[in-house]
Amino acid sequence: MLAKRLPSILPPLTLSEALETTKIHSVLGRVKERGLIHQRPFRSPHHTISDVALVGGGTYPQPGEISLAHNGILSLDELPEFKRTVLEVMRQPLEDREVTISPARFTVTYPSSFMLVASMNPSPSGYFDTGTHTPIETRRYLSKLSGPLLDRIDLHNEVEPVPFEDLAKKQLGESSESIRERVTQARKRQQERFLKRPHLHYNAQMNANELRLFCALEKEALHLIKNAMKTLGLSARAYDRILKVARTIADLENSKAIHKNHVTEAIQYRSLDREGWMN
Amino acid sequence: MGLPDNAIKESNYRIAAALQNTGYKLPGKKITINMAPADVRKEGSAYDLPIALGILSASGQIKTSQIGEYIIMGEIALDGSIRAIKGALPIAIQTLKDGFKGFILPKENAQEEAIVKGIDVYGVAHLNEVISFFEGKAKLKPMEVNTRALFEQKGKFSHLDFADVKGHATAKRCMEIAAAGGHNIILIGPRGQEKPCWPNAYLPFCHPLHFLRP
């Protein structure tokens, strides 16, 4: 699976991040002889998971999957199969990067700064064409995903079938190591940019203010995004996401300014916002 | 008293047996143990060891004034050996903040704790060790861990490599951007498309099978 390979290209944990993550795993008694967790956690709970197991809670509040995935990846396979309430309780921690649980008497706050990697089929039958089920069934399937949840996901990617010629090729693709090298460089550039803002570590964390400050567009790029929003019917929220992603693409290319081609690529990754897909 | 859960309520059986097996005894009076603050729930078996030492010191079976200078946590088995606890790292960090002299805890947890710099961490395996430490008969050796070294021996990143993924150029590019900017990502694909790789990418998972071969 593609998502399972994602940890192989993430930048290594820093010592302080490792300590934070180890603390949470220690609460559940999962550290033992390893001593220190030195790899980014990869959590992929099954879709039958309950609200409490995902965000944490219980009479004696325990951290949930989102906190165990702190500084790592939370992978949700078959996203529409999850209970709707489970997906909705995840919204606040996705935004705040921590979760506050208050069972009966007291409150606990656990950190939950994770990267969400979701995957889904385009329809209940699993294929793009709608021959085997009605449009109503498809709509019901897709309506499990609320707008606010999708708004918190920056990149939408439609995975297309691989042509046979590609499958049969003996030649290997680019290795994770060389991709990781580029990713680490891009992260370094972000850290330098956010030097004066200790709460910011990477582009996805920027708020509206910081977006305005760090993601100023060139005239040409501004014109392009204006046109795209009109013709594709993109929302104001989508606009923010596009800016963030464009910033990251520019960072990967070691470009100070965000150019037209960066914005074009970022717009491509908003396929679920476009008219006709979800509504 | 002090809102204990069932594991704590049962600890008097464990402590009684452990004390008997190590040559001490519960005083034949009614014992009240107050776990303050009274309105916060306590859970887990980690309070066995401090309760046992409290009883021993209050009943005069061990004479020491040092007991208040250490944070002590651990579950006691019936024979007096000490078993692992949960949540030791956050406790260790708190120990440091509150200015205690050291932290006595089960040996199995000691590695995890020694990461915290600035306090002495003592891993113990049996109730006897703790008692003779406080009576001044024996010394405990603080656990030492080189956090840097522990952190740097990272080993391999992952068995799975993007090199095994055929095609899917845009999906890979998306992953790269997501990783670089910490963005959330959703992959929408027809059935079976998320698993496009050569069988040998799964080989690392198959190794245990060789074990069954004659």
Whether the pLDDT of residue B77 is over 50: the answer is: yes
- Are A51 and A86 a contacting pair, CB within 8 Å? yes
Question: Per-residue pLDDT averaged across B94-122, rounded?
Answer: 82
Scored b (16 or more CB within 10 A) or e, B153-172 reads eeeebbebbbbbbbbbeebb
**CB-CB under 8 Å, A180 with B184:** no
pLDDT score for A174: 82
Which of B48-52, B99-103, B146-150 is modeled with the greatest confidence? B48-52
Residues in B touching A35 (Cβ below 8 Å) = 111-112, 114-115, 145, 150
List, for residues B180-206, the tens digit of each pLDDT value.
988 999 888 776 655 433 333 333 333
Whether the pLDDT of residue A59 is over 70: the answer is: yes
Mean pLDDT of chain A: 83
Min Cα distance A11 → chain B (Å) is 8
Give residues 58 to 77 of B whose Cβ lies within 8 Å of A. Answer: none
Question: Per-residue pLDDT averaged across A136-151, rounded?
Answer: 80
pLDDT score for B197: 39
Question: Per-residue pLDDT averaged across B11-18, rounded?
Answer: 89
Min Cα distance A229 → chain B (Å) is 21
**CB-CB under 8 Å, A269 with B172:** no
Higher pLDDT, A188 or A31: A188
pLDDT score for A33: 58
Confidence of residue A274 (pLDDT cuts 50, 70, 90): low
List, for residues A209-232, the tens digit of each pLDDT value.
888 888 888 888 889 989 988 888
Residue of B177, B197, B198 to mutate, interface with A, max A Cβ within 10 Å: B177
Whether the pLDDT of residue A247 is over 90: the answer is: yes
**CB-CB under 8 Å, B145 with A18:** no
Q: Which token pair is A85?
A: 């309430």
Residue of B nearest to A74 (CA): B184
List, for residues B143-171, the tens digit of each pLDDT value.
777 766 666 665 555 567 777 777 788 88
* Ordered DSSP codes for A117-173: EEEE-SSTTSSSS-SSS-HHHHHHHHTTS-HHHHHT--EEEEPPPPPHHHHH--S--
Q: Cα separations (Å) of A248 from A129, A251, A260?
A: 33, 5, 14
Question: Per-residue pLDDT averaged across B40-49, rounded?
Answer: 85
pLDDT score for B156: 52
pLDDT score for A128: 65
Scored b (16 or more CB within 10 A) or e, A144-172 reads ebeeebbbebbbbbbbebbeeeeeeeeee
Residue A32 burial (C-beta neighbours within 10 Å; 0-12, 13-18, 19+):
middle
Judged by a CB distance cut-off of 8 A, whether residue A31 touches chain B is yes
Judged by a CB distance cut-off of 8 A, whether residue B171 touches chain A is yes
pLDDT score for A141: 81
Judged by a CB distance cut-off of 8 A, whether residue B42 touches chain A is no
pLDDT score for A262: 92
Indicate the residue of B112, B170, B181 with minimum beta-carbon distance to A203. Answer: B181
Question: Per-residue pLDDT averaged across B22-48, rounded?
Answer: 85
pLDDT score for B172: 86
Indicate the residue of B93, B153, B183 with minimum beta-carbon distance to A154. Answer: B183
**CB-CB under 8 Å, A118 with B186:** yes
Q: Which token pair is A28?
A: 């559940």
Q: Which of A162-171, B6-15, B33-42 has the lowest mean pLDDT?
A: A162-171
Min Cα distance B25 → chain A (Å) is 31
Higher pLDDT, A225 or A141: A225
Indicate the residue of B185, B187, B191 with minimum beta-carbon distance to A154. Answer: B185
Indicate the residue of A29, A32, A172 with minimum beta-carbon distance to B163. Answer: A172
Residues in A touching B86 (Cβ below 8 Å) = 26-29
Indicate the residue of A1, A150, A244 with minimum beta-carbon distance to B195. Answer: A1
Q: How far apart are CA B122 and CA B104, in angstroms?
A: 5
